[in-house]
Amino acid sequence: MQVDLRSGWQIRDVEIPTRLVLAPMAGVSVQAFRRQGRRYGAGLVCSEMVSCAGLHHGNERTLGYLRISPDERPLAVQIFGSEPAVMAEAARMVEDAGADLVDVNFGCPVKKVTKTGAGATLLEDPSRARAVVAAVADAVSVPVTVKMRRGLENGSRACLELGPRLVDAGAESLTLHPRSARQMYTGEADHSLTAELVARVDVPVVASGDVTSQARAQAILATTGAAAVMVGRAAQGNPWALREILAGNVEPPSREEVVAELVLFIRETARELGERRATGFLKKFYGWYLGRGRFPRPFKQELVQLETLDEVEARLLAAAPGAAEVLERLEADLPEAEEDVVLDLPISIYGGG
C-alpha cells in the first residue's frame, strides 16, 4: 500500500506536514539550504551538527550563527558529544533558541568526531548512549530524537539492540541510516534493518539512505513501515529532487530556474555567513547546481575562479537572463530577514559553515 508522502505525521506534539525530512549535513545545512528544502516540500529540516563541547567551552572558532526563520520550521537542531551533562547543557541552549526538536547524533562516521567518543562510536557503548539521551530528554521540554547508523562495522546489528534502550531513555523518534560507519556512503543501505527497528520500537522511525526518487521512497516506506524518509545528498544543489519524490514525475528545472535558485542561495548564505566566509563555502555548490547536464563543465570552473560573489552572480545572470524574473518572484515570497531568531552559537567543527 502506498503512503501519501504529502500527508502529515507527528513526533509527540510537533506536527510535520509531509513525510519527507531533509537530512542534517555538515558544511551544507545552513539556513538557506533548509529554507529552500521547506519550499520544495520537506516537512522537517535539520541543522548540521552542533558541537556540545564548543558550546560549553566557548572557545571553538565561530563559524557563524544558526538562524531560525519562520519559513523553515519545524526545525531540528542536531547536537553531538559524549558527555551526558555537557550534552544536556547544549540541549537547553538549543531549546532556548527556539528549535522544535533536539536531535542527538549517534551516526557521524568521520574520524575527528568518532575519536572523541561521539557520533557513531556511541553505537558500541550502549550505556553511555542511553545516559546521553536520558540527560538530554530530562533537560528539555521539546521532543528529543536520535539519528544513528547500523553500527561501526559492516554487518553490525548494534542499532537494533540500542534503539529500544534509547526510546526507554526518552527518545521520541529514531532515524536509521542502515550503513555502517566503516562503509561511509559506499554500498547500499540495508533497509531490512530499518524494518526490524520499526518492529522493535513504538515511536516513529525515519528511514535514511538511498532515497533518490519517489519510487524508492515508496518502496522503503512500504517494506519498512517507517513513518517518513530522509533525503540528504540527493538534495545537494538539487531541491527539485524533493519535489519529484513528493509529486512523482515533474519537469526538470529550466536553466533559468537553476540559476535563480543558485543566486538566491548565494544571497541568503552571504547574509547568514558574511561575504568572506560565504565566498569559499559556496564553491562546492556551483558544481552541484550546474551539474547533471544543466550547464557545461567549464562554466562551473569559471565561476570558481571569480573573486567576488557579485561577479559570480553577474556571470550566472548573463548565462540565463530570464533568471532575473524568476529570482524576483522567489525573493518576494521570502519573509523579511529581521523575522529571524538568531542562535548566537558556534556551529560545527568543520570549516564549511
257, amino acid identity: E
- Would you say 141 and 182 are in contact if contact means Cβ atoms under 8 Å apart? no
Residue 270: burial class (beta carbons within 10 Å; 0-12, 13-18, 19+): buried
Look-up of cell digits 526563520: 69
Look-up of cell digits 537572463: 321
**Cα–Cα distance, 189 to 176 (Å, whole number):** 10
Task: Please identify every residue annotated as catalytic.
Answer: 108
Using alpha carbons only, what angle is made at residue 93 by residues 91 and 98, rounded to the nearest 5 degrees?
95
- The residues facing 36 across adjacent strands are none
223, amino acid identity: T
- Would you say 88 and 96 are in contact if contact means Cβ atoms under 8 Å apart? no
3-state secondary structure (DSSP) of residue 245? helix
Question: Furthest-apart CA pair in the chain: how many Å?
Answer: 58
